[in-house]
Structure 1
Amino acid sequence: MAGKRSIFEEVGEVSKPAGAPKGGMIDQGRGGARGAVRIWLGVLFALVVVMIAVGGLTRLTDSGLSITEWRPVTGALPPMSEADWQAEFEKYRGSPEFQLQNSQMDLAAFKTIYWWEWGHRQLGRIVGLVWAAGFVFFWATKRIPPGWAGRLLTLGLLGGLQGAIGWWMVSSGLTGRMVDVASYRLAIHLGLAFVILGLIAWHMLSLSRTEPQLLQARRAREPKLYSLATGLMHFAFLQILFGALVAGIDAGRAFPTWPLMGDSFFPADAFYLPEGGPAVLAFFENPGLVQFVHRMSGYLLLAFALVVWLRARKSAHPATKAAFDWAVVILFGQAVIGIVTVLHAAPLGLGLAHQLMAVLVWMLILRARHRAQFPIVRSIRGSR
């Protein structure tokens, strides 16, 4: 027989036996180690940013062709003796870059450019090891969130592809046709780095909330704004590729004037090629035309960003509006740095700053796009 009920007991209150399961335990058991995976991705993100910076310095210091072989494993060890250094120098002396451009270089100067390229490749190995160690650990301990194994595995596969493309790029400068790497191969190499970085950032943003929270947020998504942000993302990526073409042939130093290119709007001899060839090659190999395309694309990108920003001002979500505010502000700053870089004939410091600012612009556009897809919904009182 049941005991007497207290006169203060709420009607309808049901007592639960001790040890009864609490609500939400099913979700808790299926969430995986989202926080730990996010930290691991954060480490990878930082390493990829550093690698992009070192890669930019490697290109700006003309160091990319100093190592003439691709040895993914044994190449991890640098020359250990003077004889080893001399052997590496002799290999470089046989390259077109040395014979046509650096014939006066001595061993001490060679060591400087060698260390830049070796450091860039070594960072690639470190990124691969950090990814492999993290993926194996989370997979073996069954801590990968449901549905995330394929996404995390894809990052590793793209990293391996990036290494192969890196050598494909370097090999283009060892064939004899040019003294630098092919600019279009450099664009593919840098473009894939930004793809990898973008995927890592997107995954980190998604892992910052639980799956139920993401599903709930998606019900409040803004399809039109998301589509515009996707277009802005693609346009920014195209501009990054144009920037790689500029860096590949030092086109940033061709016309150190602004807003005109020399004395005219369109560069003189835009389709001239010293060695001849089809006119389409001028879009990759003529410094004036390459810089002109990068300039015009930058203006159009900024104009389109302002259109997207005006649409974002109509959003009902303050966090979404703030994300687009920052994206446009930094994009405008990037345009200013680009102009200053051109006016100073692309010195090393400004060139690197321009490239790193591109990373920031890319991240902020992706963040704004994520906010449009998964807005942070706040109540009237301001709580999430």
Structure 2
Amino acid sequence: MTMAPTIDQQRTRNADREGVQRAVSLWLWFVAALVVAMIIVGGATRLTESGLSITEWQPLLGAIPPLDESHWIEAFEKYKLIPQYHIMNHGMTLEEFKFIYWWEWSHRFLGRFIGLAFALPLLAFWVTGSLKRGSGVKFLGVLALGGLQGVIGWYMVKSGLVDRIDVSQYRLALHLTTAFLILGLLVWLALEEWPNTSAPTGEAASLTVRRMATFLLVIVIAQVVLGAFVAGLKAGFIYNTWPTMNGQWVPSDYWTTPWYLSFFESHAASQFNHRMLAYLVGIAALVEVWLVWGRRFDRRIQTTAIALAVVVFAQMGLGIATLLTHVQLDVALLHQAGGAIVLTLAVLHLYVVRHRGTSQIAAGQLR
């Protein structure tokens, strides 16, 4: 006859289970941090015009950089065959080529490292039976999306190897948006995995607050997409004034032909749209703070709403600074990192809003 566990044994089991859940959550947070680093390095690769320096896609052998002078010369000769070299970098020295090569190699290597940092611990957690029911399938989905992201990255690079001197803004937007989606999924799953041990500190969020939190996340993702088109079109290098665009509130060259491509191919339209949606995100963030201010909602709902609003306005300031400095590298990279932080907090706020009342959030996770 099997005896029921004692209270002490049950407590020990619960503590062990919580410890494993924390380990899984921390692993996901670590991978999310790597994705943020990947987004920043990708921005540097784009801004230094380094993305086309490696003209081949070798998922395994590509992890090995040129090891001697002959290999460097071979890689350089391949780069000399594409339009970017002939039009932009004709006469470039081998040392100058190495500078852009290392940026692109670092970007690709970090992508490979993220894949291993996700896949190997996942395998270990799975084999040891440490995953909650249903978590394994979700993690496999993220792993598959990460593999697809590698294919999308090469699909993007290919667009700049034949008839262009840069990559397609459509493919860049797809690549960057997918990176942000992966980040958002990792953050959400990390929150789900953290053991629920704390007591609520207030009321559940109202329907209005929940809808606004969802709306905020949707428009933040939309803003990422618009920002990707600004980056792909290099639209940040024009209209470097604020609050007007060279004295105009609406740029006179907003529309292109045909008109419906203006949103994706007009430099003026892409920057204007990105500015306008930034204002909407800022207003929505303030409205959410107003909706939770002074209410008896769980304090974590209020804390995340305020934190999100603060970061949104800091990000707006970085966006303005990026324009005024004519896309200075360090400022632009801070702006790209800021976008990742805004998305993270938007996901965090939505999670807290949706789960307060249906499950508890660990206080240590949000403090």
Distance 1:20 1:335 in 2: 56
Q: Which has the larger radius of gyration?
A: 1
Aligned match of 1:368 = 349
Aligned match of 2:333 = 352
State the 1:265 CA deviation: 1.4
**Aligned: 1:38 with 2:63:** no
State the 1:245 CA deviation: 1.0
**Aligned: 1:293 with 2:280:** no
Q: 1:128 touches 1:156 (CA, 8 Å); kept in 2?
A: yes
Aligned match of 2:263 = 283
Q: 1:32 touches 1:144 (CA, 8 Å); kept in 2?
A: no
TM-score, normalised to structure 1, is: 0.86
**Aligned: 1:265 with 2:265:** no
Q: 2:235 touches 2:268 (CA, 8 Å); kept in 1?
A: yes
Aligned match of 2:288 = 308
Aligned match of 1:342 = 323
Whose RCO is larger (CA < 8 A, sep 6+)?
2
State the 1:283 CA deviation: 2.3
Deviations 1:209-230 (A, max 9, x none): 33x879x999945433222101
Distance 2:175 2:269 in 1: 21
State the 1:333 CA deviation: 1.1
State the 1:263 CA deviation: 2.5
Aligned match of 1:163 = 150
Aligned match of 1:104 = 91
Q: 2:160 touches 2:167 (CA, 8 Å); kept in 1?
A: yes
Distance 2:260 2:57 in 1: 31
State the 1:42 CA deviation: 2.1
**Aligned: 1:182 with 2:163:** no
State the 1:123 CA deviation: 0.5
Structure 1 unpaired stretches of 5+: 1-17, 379-384
Runs of 4+ in 1 over 6 A off after TM superposition: 29-32, 216-219
Q: 1:79 touches 1:85 (CA, 8 Å); kept in 2?
A: yes
TM-score, normalised to structure 2, is: 0.90
Aligned match of 1:226 = 210
Distance 2:18 2:27 in 1: 16
State the 1:364 CA deviation: 1.2
Distance 1:109 1:47 in 2: 28
Percent of residue pairs bearing the same amino acid type: 39
Structure 1 stretch displaced more, 101-110 or 48-57? 101-110
RMSD of equivalent CA atoms: 2.6
Aligned match of 1:142 = 129
Aligned match of 1:206 = 192
Q: 1:221 touches 1:374 (CA, 8 Å); kept in 2?
A: no
